[in-house]
Amino acid sequence: MSHGIKDKVIVITGASSGLGECTARHLSALGATLVLGARRADRLHTLVADLEKQGGKAVAVTTDVTQKVQVEALVKTAVDTYGRVDVLLNNAGLMQQSMLGSLKTDEWDNMIDVNIKGTLYGIAAVLPYMKAQKSGHIINVSSVAGHKVTPAGAVYCATKHAVRAISEGLRSEVKEWNLRTTTISPGAVATELTDHITEKEIGAGIRDFYKHHAVGPDSFARIVEFALNQPAEVDINEILYRPTSQQL
């Protein structure tokens, strides 16, 4: 079933790897038209070439979500190329875990800029177009960390709690324009996310946990498909999922 996906123009941030790449491949196979943003242009263009070889339609736009003008350019490319933007998947994210006492303020800034500001810049870029269309779906990516707070995760958890708060505020504001909003909160999923942890002991512990428990990124792609495939009158607002073996 792909009636909510085929021929839809879908913008994905953080599309060069992990959840974003896997979801792009999955949605392309279901007939979506994709506009893909990420910082790593080489990987992004390789992905687009792969999708096109398989009969898909995709465009790559080098995008740093911490730069508002670049996010605006990503969305404008979708509208200029295909005439509309139906879905935004605000996927770009960063997880740098450390104890607050380590005072890694640069990493705090990084997570605030990517996870919170990047999400807001995506919303700001698509909202005028979706309001004018009186249709659209914004999917924001939170985390289990947006529901729980852990030692060494205080700032990361704060950013993911913020994504949920922003999403709920957005949901309550956009009903008159017929817009839908979904927040997806994954548990441990096998991606590059744990590679960003610079504290050796904490990073080793988390990576070992992921080694034994993480599920594949295709789990996330299937959940995006589920949210998009609902009838127009159904708005799936929040999905929290974990590996079956994950206790936290």
Catalytic annotation, residues: 156
For residue 180, what are its two tokens?
């839908």
Q: Which stretch of DSSP H or E encloses residue 152? A: none
Distance CA 23, CA 28 (A): 8
Beta-carbon count within 10 A of 99 CB: 13
Q: Which stretch of DSSP H or E encloses residue 10? A: strand 9-12
Tokens 């974003």 belong to which residue?
A: 20
Distance CA 94, CA 89 (A): 15
Beta-carbon count within 10 A of 75 CB: 26
